[in-house]
Structure 1
């Protein structure tokens, strides 16, 4: 009986957690759309507000609205006028106290992470942490720059993010010599699965010849 219960649990638990996460995310997005409807009801005519409230009652309409806004925004900012408007918007927010600190920091991080030409979170490596002889998976986020370089030895260094498990959204920031990290052939998705599962989900096997050579 115990064996069958565990087997059934292993079948339904991943599905239940997946559904719960999707329902939570959908409710969050729908809640944002509902807030927009409440704000719009103060300025729009009654007819338009009635239509928006009918749409708000449909599950998932918030997600569709968010995708539409993201798509239209992406189309708008890819031309010259959109780029100019975006620069003016950034300049405006850059002159508002408190807001400029938060906005500029978040924008810099997001531009670095999602830039197609950046290297942040595109390489998984092994690094000795938190002590010699103990290894963990880390992600290369870039190279140290500015004042940091003046205080580091002359050899090349890399900036690493060491995520915690099972929650990889928290972690530690390290600066280590490039020669002390071991590049991995696995992609970032496989590395994250291995971390989130606390090592239960094994990464794909890679032939020794396919492994990435240590960086100079």
Structure 2
């Protein structure tokens, strides 16, 4: 007759104390509050500091009795600058204004040190504001710094000028490779268009991905022809 094995004691599960669960929940709420308020707070702080900076620059130029800032009206400096730039644009759009622009343009172009800085800054603003080229309008992937490693880049235009003549047999494009998380610095590369894979995401989504070091990934929906057909049976 087989001896009965002794009964195993039932496992006793320790209940989690109520205060520990409550602390974990409060901790999650705390970090959720940071995620919600931090971007808003930082944005308003930067905007407020910019308004104060403009007020401090413009206020010394205006008599105290005519300065609305002393009446508790912040932002007067920013409004004054916007109005001033608009008036300058209106003046330069006329015949006399265009003549004045050509005169100081010729003077600055002939100055030994400032001519290079002036020309570079002028071309950048003309390209970005006047939209002379499709600068920073396409996000792409390139193999950089070596084969097998893909890097996000921005197509800034078609290679032209002397560099374009060197590669006359190839369809070359100018590609800007930004650094992470600061996309204002990077590398300028010249690549054949066949080596560049253009993405569907827009420039804003690409910049968000670069700045967030890949944490913010934009969603992508496949075209209808690439999606599998649904079976109704």
Aligned-residue CA RMSD (Å):
2.3
1 CA distance for matches of 2:212 and 2:51?
Answer: 24
TM-aligned CA deviation for residue 24 of structure 1: 2.7
User: Which of 1 and 2 has higher RCO (CA within 8 Å, sep 6+)?
Assistant: 1
State how far apart, in whole Å, the 1-side matches of 2:145 and 2:41 are: 35
Aligned partners of 2:126 and 2:132 also within 8 Å? no
Can you list the C-alpha shifts for 1:154-198, whole angstroms capped at 9, x where unaligned? 211111111112211111111111111111222211211121122
Q: 1:49 aligns with which of 63, 67, 85?
A: 63
Q: Which runs of 4+ in 1 moved over 4 A?
A: none
Query: Of the candidates 76, 79, 87, which is equivalent to residue 94 of structure 2?
Result: 79
Aligned: 1:184 with 2:199: yes
CA distance in 2 between partners of 1:25 and 1:11 (Å): 23
| Alignment of 1:125 onto 2:125 | no
Matched, 1:156 2:181: no
User: Residue 63 of structure 1 corresponds to which residue in structure 2?
Assistant: 78
Report the Cα offset of residue 107 of structure 1.
0.6
Q: Secondary structure at the match of 2:106?
A: helix
**TM-score, scaled relative to structure 1:** 0.81
Aligned to 2:10: none
The structure having more radius of gyration, on CA atoms, is 2
Alignment of 1:90-169 (within 5 A): 90-152=105-167, 154-169=169-184
In the superposition, relative to structure 1, how do residues 210 and 118 fare at CA in structure 2: closer, same or farther (>3 Å)? farther
Give CA deviations for 1:41-61 in whole Å, capped at 9, x if unaligned.
xxxxxxx63345x34544211
Partner of 2:44: 19
Q: Which of 169-178 and 193-202 deviates more? A: 193-202
Q: Secondary structure at the match of 1:142?
A: strand
Q: Give the structure 1 partner of residue 21 of structure 2.
A: none
Q: C-alpha distance in 1, partners of 2:206/2:213?
A: 11
Q: Distance in 2 between matches of 1:117 and 1:100?
A: 22
> Which residue number corresponds to residue 210 of structure 2?
195
**32 and 209 in structure 1: CA distance in 2 versus 1, 3 angstrom threshold:** farther
1:72 shift after superposition: 1.4
TM-score normalized by the length of structure 2: 0.75
Gaps of 5+ in 1: 41-47, 212-216
Task: Determine if contact 2:108/2:114 at 8 Å carries over to the other structure.
Answer: yes
